[in-house]
Amino acid sequence: MNPEINAKAEAWLSPTFDETTQKEVKKLIEQDSEELTESFYKNLEFGTGGMRGIMGVGTNRINKYTLGKNTQGLSNYLKEAFLGKLLKVAIAYDCRNNSKELAQVVADVFSANDIQVYLFSDLRATPELSFAVKHLDCHCGIVLTASHNPPEYNGYKVYWQDGGQLVPPQDSEIVAEIERLDYSAVNFDAKKKHITYIDKDVDKAFIKASLENGSFSELDKHRDDVTIVFTPLHGTSITIIPDVLEGAGYKNVHIVEEQRKPDGNFPTVKSPNPEEPEALKMAMDLAEEKNADIVIGTDPDCDRLGIAVRDNSGKLVLLNGNQTMVVMTDFLLENYFANNTAKGNEFVGSTIVSTPMMETLAKSYDIECKLGLTGFKWIAKMIVDYPNQKFIGGGEESFGFMVGDFVRDKDAVTATLLACEIVTKAKKEGSSFFKKLQDLYVKHGFFKEDLTSLVKKGISGAEEIKQTMIDLRENPLTTINGEKIVKIDDYASSKSLKVSTGESTDIDIPKANVLIYHTDQGSRIAARPSGTEPKIKFYISVNDNAESLEDLKKVEEKLDAKIAGILKELGI
């Protein structure tokens, strides 16, 4: 047994921790050294989407004490950052096991520190929390969620007063404040007078804003022509998306009944992740039965959405996040410039590992596409950093999209409505969502992406991931699949290397453990360890021109072969 780990565990046998926790820790010490090590070898860290982890006892687990310590540290920081102000926070939670209880713990600690708490009375979608922070004029917000992680996970996401997730410098400053604390410093003694439960009033305001941003009046007479199948995948979206669709005028909405009820065990799916085709199988089956035009599934906290639409032969096909994003962005831009005189200061947002087609698309409208690191907090930060520019919308490859800036996080509520509006307009014009995507490929080039994730769990897995990134940096590729590497972007060093000359230029984006290879044929290979899951992700993007709609199949086969060749050379 590692003496340091043993000492950390034994500290949890003190009276600071309740009897149940002490018994669990003692059991690990006596019976399960491997689980003890995993539970105590480090402290849970803030990653791309906040802090996520397996629930259980220990410093590397989600529990009353790790969340209590975070909240105490955040309370201390808020008092320093907003000296003399009456502090307000909003708290929401999703359908996961223990989310409600953990949210109450967080509310109790804030209230014990004389901070006014607005706590949702029941589970809510994550984007509504982002909205509530601004709507209620709060200084920060918390949502208890682990997005689409497996059932044993939970998490803690922190939002700042603009409604966006924590970004530098607040994130590192808050972490430093938390790390200075001992668990005995956490004040769990709630002052109930500081806790206000919120529900319908905020719901109504959020629905109104979603309808204003995601629906278009010229389609009012045509929504009856569209049939929608929707699944919340046992998550929070059931509390809001049906109401938004009804408010827009959609009547032919069919919900997958077996997946309607919120359930943190997610009994009908292996993973509640709309990025995975298997998660939407029941919805796809129902769509065939109802002859639906579109299938939409959202993840447990309702910030991501997966979409299936009918192709030119009438077959339902699943779209990836990049494809959905470019169609949605083009639709928003087309509508915006049809109804507004161009100011020249508009922009859309995306991420460095999402499709480069977003930049090409923005250029065609003569506007800017700003790129940030992975995670919607960076897109939200763009809005704060460029207050004189108008944000139209933005997305990332991992099935997230944000319409306008009334929410400062990926928002599957308004994005679901937007997707249905696109289908409605296309059908009215004798086209389809799928055909709109094809038209964009012919106009701007056929961009095709692939994401491969390698799961590496535990301490040994973390070391494997670390070594893989070291190897890619210290022994960089010079060619791949017959294509010459011409540029290497290393976001850890903030340097972009032009391979032919050895010339290095600065990258004006915050540092991150991401490495991107660019080839002479326009292909791009990115490697990135996940910030919230035990994975290393490889993002591949290839592209070619398609002269016509008839040319698309041949071009796609060529791009598929390119991707297969790249994956083979990478050995994944």
Give the residue from 135, 138, 143, 141 showing the smallest Cα distance to 205: 135
| Burial 186-206, CB ≥16 within 10 A → b, else e | bbeebeeebbeebeeebbebb
In one-letter notation, the amino acid at residue 351 is: T
Alpha carbon distance 304, 307 (integer Å): 10
Please give the full DSSP string across 132-153, using - where no structure is assigned: HHHHTT-SEEEEE--TTS-TTE
Parallel, antiparallel or unpaired: strands 116-120 and 88-93: parallel
Residue spans of beta strands (DSSP E) within 16-139: 51-54, 88-93, 116-120
Taking the C-alpha atoms of residue 170 and residue 193, their distance in angstroms, rounded to an integer, is 28
CA dist., res. 398 & res. 353, Å (int): 10
The answer to whether 409 and 130 are in contact (CB under 8 A) is: yes
- How many whole angstroms separate alpha carbon 374 and alpha carbon 398? 9
404 is written with which tokens?
A: 């306008």
Strands 228-231 and 294-298: parallel
Angle made by CA atoms 33, 37, 41, in degrees to the nearest 5: 160
Selecting among 39, 99, 130, 147, the annotated active-site residue is 147
CA 94/CA 102 separation, integer angstroms:
11
Of 379, 425, 381, nearest to 402 by C-alpha is 379
* Cα–Cα distance list, 399 to 154, 165, 304 (Å): 20, 18, 5
CA dihedral 418, 421, 422, 426 (to 10 degrees): 180
Q: How many CA atoms lie within 13 A of 36 on its CB side?
A: 23
Provide DSSP, 211-268.
HHHH--GGGTTTGGG--EEEE-TTSGGGGTHHHHHHHHT---EEE-GGGTS--TT-TT
Report the first-to-last Cα separation within the chain, whole angstroms: 35
In terms of Cα–Cα distance, which of 149, 119, 210, 249 is closest to 418?
Answer: 210
Q: Is the separation of the CB atoms in 244 and 296 below 8 Å?
A: no
147 noted as active-site residue: yes
Cβ 117 vs Cβ 92: under 8 Å: no
The CA distance from 206 to 208, in Å, is: 5
Please give the positions annotated as active site: 147
